[in-house]
Amino acid sequence: MKRFFRIVKSFWHDNHSTLLITMIVGGMSGALITVIFVFLEIGLNSWGSVADWFSGIATLLAVIVSLFLSSKKEKPKITVEYSGIAALMNRNGLYYCHSWSVYNYSNMPAKITVVGALISKKKHIILNENSKHIQNIIFNQTEYFIYNKIPISVESNGTSNILIKVGGLLEQLESPEMKDESCLKFYCKDNFNQWYFSKEFTCEEIIEMSKRAVEENNKYNTEF
């Protein structure tokens, strides 16, 4: 039974626009057929011309469908994957960055407008109006790697990368204000107000990964 409901939920998620339009058209068609049968049963003189009624119902149906379609703005189909910490070289030396890959599977370009991390004492971080225990760290422009600045464009049917230097987040996680926090989830948001989340990490995991990256970075820059 649970599997059946999961299938129904998935089908509704993928096809809800088509289903709603079908329901509206079906309902109005049923109403029209009912009116015609009523006309035939009680006589046309009491109700006026069938053509007039048909025209009125068709016009109402067209208005409802057009309003529904205009309210459904097309949105890009994007997935965002956190790739871990990547080593990057440029003429100024070696840098370690938190890295995300952004994939756009639609014909509509998009922009990533916000990148951050949600931090909490509790597991299973969910961002909603009741999330008072969650701290929200939004990465600022100085933390992005060189030319990788917000907003980050993602072309239609294209890919892009988000790169955040490890040092800033490490400092915040090791600050006294964060000593009791235990879980972290990265996120980003696009210009259509769609949110994308990474899997959940422990703060200790991210701190250890970042410390190793900083040590490697310092070692490399010292040697060269």
- Listed in sequence order, the residues at least 6 apart from 95 whose beta carbon sits closer than 8 Å to its beta carbon are 87, 88, 89, 145, 165, 217
Point out the least confidently predicted range of 58-67, 97-106, 139-148, 178-187.
58-67
Place of tokens 């990474």: 198
Residue 83 has pLDDT above 70, yes or no: yes
Q: Is the peptide bond before 151 cis (omega within 30 degrees of 0)?
A: yes
As a whole number, mean pLDDT of residues 89-97 equals 81
Tokens of 120: 């909490």
Q: Are 184 and 200 in contact (CB under 8 A)?
A: yes
The pTM of this model reads 0.64
* DSSP 8-state assignment for residue 200: E
Tokens of 65: 């469908």
Q: Could you read off the pLDDT of 62-80 as tens digits, one per residue? A: 666 666 555 556 778 888 8
Q: What is the pLDDT of residue 134?
A: 82
Residue 92 has pLDDT above 80, yes or no: no
Q: What is the pLDDT of residue 8?
A: 45
16 forms beta bridges with: none
Distance CA 58, CA 217 (A): 69
